[in-house]
Amino acid sequence: MRTLGLIGGISYHATTLYYSQINEHVQKTVGGGQSAKIVLHSFAYVDIMAPWHAGDYAEFGRQISKAGKNLQSIGAEAIVICANTAHLWADEIEKVAGIPVLHIIDFTAAAILKAGLKKVVLLGTNATMEGDFIAGRLEKKFGIQVLIPEEEVRKRMDEVIYKELSQDIVTAQAKKLYIDAVEDLVQKGAQGVILGCTELQFVLKADDVSISLFDTVELHARGAAQWALDN
Name the strands in the sheet holding 212-215, side by side, starting at the edge strand that comes first in the sequence.
145-147, 119-123, 192-195, 212-215
Q: What tens digit of pLDDT does each residue of 183-192 get?
A: 999 999 999 9
Please name which of 215, 157, 177, 198 lies closest in space to residue 6, comparing C-alpha atoms. Answer: 198
SS3 state at 122: strand
**Complete domains list, the chain, with CATH:** 4-103+219-229 (3.40.50.1860), 104-216 (3.40.50.1860)
**CB count in 10 Å sphere of residue 139:** 13
Q: How confident is the model at residue 213 (pLDDT cuts 50, 70, 90)?
A: very high
| Residue-level pLDDT at 30 | 92
Q: How confident is the model at residue 13 (pLDDT cuts 50, 70, 90)?
A: confident
Q: What tens digit of pLDDT does each residue of 84-99 get?
A: 889 999 999 999 999 9
| Residue-level pLDDT at 56 | 94
| Residue-level pLDDT at 199 | 83
pTM confidence score: 0.87
At residue 212, φ and ψ (nearest 5 deg) are -65, 140
| Residue-level pLDDT at 31 | 87
Q: How confident is the model at residue 231 (pLDDT cuts 50, 70, 90)?
A: confident
